[in-house]
Structure 1
Amino acid sequence: MPRPKRIWIPGATYHITARGNRKSNLFRDKKDYQHYMELLQKALQRYPSDLHAYCLMPNHLHLILGTINHTPTDLIHYLHSVYARYFNHRYDYVGHLFQGRFYSKQIRNHKQLLDTSAYIHLNPVKANYTKLPEDYLWSSYGAFLAPSKSTIIHTDKILSLLGEDPHHKYQLFVETRRKINEWNLIKHLDTF
């Protein structure tokens, strides 16, 4: 039975996630992360789209991608097939690197966009890779804290939702989410 075709709306924004096959690592060292980011930049040039936020975790990744004239499938298929060939060649592996198809969910409003960006930027904190999201190297969070000259990340769509001094407001928003998550964890542990 064929897989259902993904619905794509030009100009829509999507939360994209992908996981390593059997939850295995997609990235083993700095070179892997850097190579993925280089390929992501090439993919964005080949299939013009706006990358609004990202976070690369060892065994999965998150992207917030705004489409223009190409489907997210075009970009992700190119990116992940080229990266899988690199990874398998580097580590002398065969077979699938990614677990099934990537997941995508359309972001339908401003609240969902802010919430999703905070969620992905807090992923390394939740997984105990770092105490603060700004200390994690493989996410776009740093670009949201100060004006950035990055050619890959487009923070303007998210920051435009926050009015004056958006970099500071975004940091406060994410920090508040982090503290709420910690409080909920402590509250949950107290129930045992």
Structure 2
Amino acid sequence: MSRKKRLWLPDHFYHVVSRGNRRDPLFQDDRDFRAFFYNMKELSEKSPFEISSYCFMTNHYHLQIRSPEVQLSQIMSRLNKGYANYYNTRYNLCGHVFEKRFHAEPISNPYGNFVVSHYIHMNPVRANMVESPEDYPWSSYRYFQSSKLKASLKNIPFFTPKANLELFKGSRENYVTAFQALNDNRKVLDNPKNPNSRRKFYFTANIPYLANQREGAISDMQMKIGNHIYF
């Protein structure tokens, strides 16, 4: 049975998740994290793509990625295949390193980009690996806080945080303020006694810069995308 083709929107960012086979570790030490990062950099030089947030966990990774020139499925296939070759060689293994097809969800607007970025950056905190997202070395959150952002970007040509700063007129400080406020709202939403705790989208009424954005985020995606390509 053939696989159902996915929607490819070249001008949209996607939230992509890829996991280790049987949820086994993908990264066993810092060398593995660095190898994956190097693999991304090498691939981006051959097939350009943009990443506005990322987080590499132990047995999976998250990307907020846009591929305007090459179909996203091709980018992901090359990325995972390149790392799988490295991983199997290093650990003297054979067979699949990654599980079934990667998950990819298109993001429809700037508010959605920000919420996905928040979700990605909070992964290590939710997994009780660190207390704050800035403490985790293998995510992009530190670049939104660091005063050395421009210098860092020279070494990461595919990293383009602009999409996540669009709501905030390019201000990293406003991004961090909204990020922290969203954390406070999540504490309320995640309370089991809160009848709204299972809602898919976060409340934004009390969050700076986001009060008027939520409606656009939950609108029907198909009403906005127009012509599209499947992959």
Give the alignment's TM-score, normalised by structure 2.
Answer: 0.77
Q: Secondary structure of the residue that 2:122 maps to in structure 1?
A: helix
Query: Counterpart in 2 of 1:181?
Result: 186
Query: Counterpart in 1 of 2:139?
Result: 139
| Cα pair 2:54 2:120 within 8 Å, conserved | yes
| Cα pair 2:110 2:163 within 8 Å, conserved | no
- Once the two structures are TM-superposed, the CA of residue 13 in structure 1 deviates from its matched residue by 1.3
Number of equivalences: 189
| Cα pair 1:145 1:170 within 8 Å, conserved | no
Residues 113-154 of structure 1 show CA distances to partners (whole Å, capped at 9, x for unaligned) of 110000000111011110010010000111112333313311
Q: Secondary structure of the residue that 2:7 maps to in structure 1?
A: coil
Amino acid at match of 1:162: F
Q: Does 2:146 match 1:156?
A: no
Query: Counterpart in 2 of 1:82?
Result: 82
Give the fraction of aligned pairs with identical amino acids, expressed as a percent: 31
- Once the two structures are TM-superposed, the CA of residue 171 in structure 1 deviates from its matched residue by 1.1
Deviates more, 1:147-156 or 1:95-104: 147-156
Query: Counterpart in 2 of 1:123?
Result: 123
The correspondence of residues 1-192 of structure 1 with structure 2, limited to 5 A, is 1-146=1-146, 147-149=149-151, 150=153, 151=156, 152-163=158-169, 166-185=171-190, 187-188=191-192
Distance 1:92 1:183 in 2: 47
Distance 1:127 1:148 in 2: 30
Distance 1:177 1:32 in 2: 32
Richer in helix (by share): 1
| Cα pair 2:12 2:66 within 8 Å, conserved | yes
Distance 1:130 1:156 in 2: 26
Distance 1:189 1:36 in 2: 41
Distance 2:36 2:178 in 1: 28
Distance 2:64 2:25 in 1: 21
Distance 1:90 1:52 in 2: 29
Deviates more, 1:37-46 or 1:154-163: 154-163
Q: Which runs of 5+ in 2 are unaligned?
A: 195-231
Q: Secondary structure of the residue that 1:188 maps to in structure 2?
A: coil
- Once the two structures are TM-superposed, the CA of residue 70 in structure 1 deviates from its matched residue by 0.6
Larger Rg, first or second structure (1 or 2) = 2
Give the alignment's TM-score, normalised by structure 1.
Answer: 0.91
Distance 1:32 1:13 in 2: 26
Amino acid at match of 1:148: K
Q: Which runs of 5+ in 1 are unaligned?
A: none
Distance 1:181 1:58 in 2: 24
